[in-house]
Structure 1
Amino acid sequence: MRREAVVLLAGLLWALGAGAQSPTAASPPPDNEMPSGSSVYAKPRPPVRLETREGRLVRPGDQVDANDALDEILDEFAADIARLGANRVSPILLERVRVSDNMNPEFASILEARLVSAIYRAANVRVVRCYECYATHAQVEDGAWVVRRGISRREDLQRLMKKYNAQVVLNASLTLHTAPNALAFDVELVRAEDASIFFAEGYRVHPHTALLYRSADKVQSREARLKDLEDRINAKPHFNHSLHLGAMIIPTEGHPEGSIWAPYTAYRFSEAFGEERTWRLGGTVAGLLSPSRMVGAILSATLLSRINKENVYSINCFGGGSVGFLLTGVQGNSPMFNAQAECVMAHRITLQGSLGILVPFASSTDSTYTIGGLTPQVGMGFTW
């Protein structure tokens, strides 16, 4: 009996040892490959957060976070409240904050909290919540069961304003557009005395540049287009004038002193045309003065086109060319062709450069050398 127990115990220990040394269970997969059926879960990278510096969005990439754009909108509205003055609007009765149908309705409460927080940061005003504005009321009138929600009569508004001791009622609506992506925030302040609209504004975020603008900006743009259309109908031209100062290098061949360095002064007048008035066509009169080498003038026709879209916040650049004639009187005359570009840095100061070809001609005073070739020029101008 004892012998059988010893044999059984030895067999059990051998089986356990063999199972622990199984190559399939303990050995790693060959070439560090993952076993079949395994999965890899990578933690998603956090989105790039934008920084706000002095009220301007700093964009490190091509995308703008909607939360940052919404913060800019709310801060702009809060600044308008501060400009209106606390004695004219405080306390403010917050009637209703709505969001568009393509947004989560629960976001309205978050928007309300962020709106009130922005107002408190910018202005010394009080904001009062209107509980009756969200409630549903039912009563019997002339034998009929009437159900109302919120403020439905002027008398109710005046009663609530007196109850809360408020001056204006605030209504706000946030709309999300998806084609293209854009945010629109519309607000309205209503007086309690006569139910007249005290303040109304719409705030928009441009879908590509994240530029914050108001509905009044659109009105001004339409007004400018209407005025431009009236000018076209009345045949009223849009002229541009500019005065340039710079230097030009005129190559020479066979002269011991080499190329001619000549300061120049140029006046150009042009007319803007095209559907968006992006083209400019006009004439240029320039004078050259190199006392020891050359005194002359350049008459040319110039055509320029806007390179980038018009933007009051950035540099506006134009490119084009000119065809003209160099007149020196004694030394000779020759045609000249230029490719030129210029940039208006803000509104008046202009940087200008060109690269032209002056058809070579023999000097009338000294036929041993010729004048002409590749003629670069640079300068600075004043535009009005």
Structure 2
Amino acid sequence: MGFQQIGICDTDLSDQEPLLQAWLDNQYHGEMDWMARHGMMRARPHELLPGTLRVISVRMNYLPARAAFASTLKNPRLGYVSRYALGRDYHKVLRSRLKQLGEKIRAWCGQANYRPFVDSAPILERPLAAKAGLGWVGKHSLILNREAGSWFFLGELLIDLPLPVDGAVKEECGKCVACITTCPTGAIVAPYTVDARRCISYLTIELEGDIPEALRPLIGNRIYGCDDCQLICPWNRFSQLTDEADFSPRAALHAPELIDLFHWDEARFLRVTEGSAIRRIGHLRWLRNIAVALGNAPYEPAVLSALQSRSGENALLDRHIQWAVGEQLARREAQSVKVQTAQQQRLVRSIEKGLSRDA
């Protein structure tokens, strides 16, 4: 099926229910109302598919070769897209494979009821993956694996067969807090706890309205998602590259020029993102994110012109354009002051040299 690992566990996640409730009570889910909509069903897989006895958890690597993390993030004129979203929508890929796996099991056993899930239903996939032995939950809340780091997708197959279960593995984060300290917006508010309202992935993907102004400068050139907590993790020294062609980066999304992206009309956005996870945010939020990134870019007349070219198209976009234009103008003024100061210093030095000769 192309999975790198599978594990099996029962459906008992009762220990996760108080943790989930506390997370919801703190409003860490932000505008993701669907996180609270189904109550504790997320911790009760057997309620999603009555008769479920086991959960088969799978993982599939997605890290592409030549991911170009540093070269893209360090160039503020380029747009950074989270590496998981550079290729085909993983929901479709994994769900198709899980369905095939379910059919193979059914054919072998004669009968079996199953249901595949890929980040698409009220289910706590990371606690299930940890319970099934695929890894442990890191302090950034992602699953970590000794041999593969964290650059992989998760999927689940609920099934009504009493399969033998696997055991959980030992947590090995130790005293490391690299992911917590490196998060650009301080979204990891405590070990294993993420406040989505501050997370760049949430702000650029899930949030439908305005990105809070205080967080915009911290987003940098990240226009869809963020990988910082994974990039800094020592366990990702052991990460494995994907061999799935579907996860190969699309050229138009791999280190693209921000100005070019901002000129895309909706037709081109839909064409380039066909079959991609990026399409779900829509053209408007795509432009909103790029406007913020342009606001964080060094001052250039071309950047200012690009921002002003889309003014008046939409109220939400306008608010982010106005902020970005303000940031660009402030940098232009700062550059002007710096140039003037340098000129004055040169003039003073020239006068001092002249006075010295006269003396």
Please report the TM-score for the alignment, with normalisation by the length of structure 1: 0.21
Question: Relative contact order: is structure 1 or structure 2 higher (C-alpha 8 Å, sep ≥ 6)?
Answer: 2
Which structure has the highest strand share of the two? 1
Which structure has the highest helix share of the two? 2
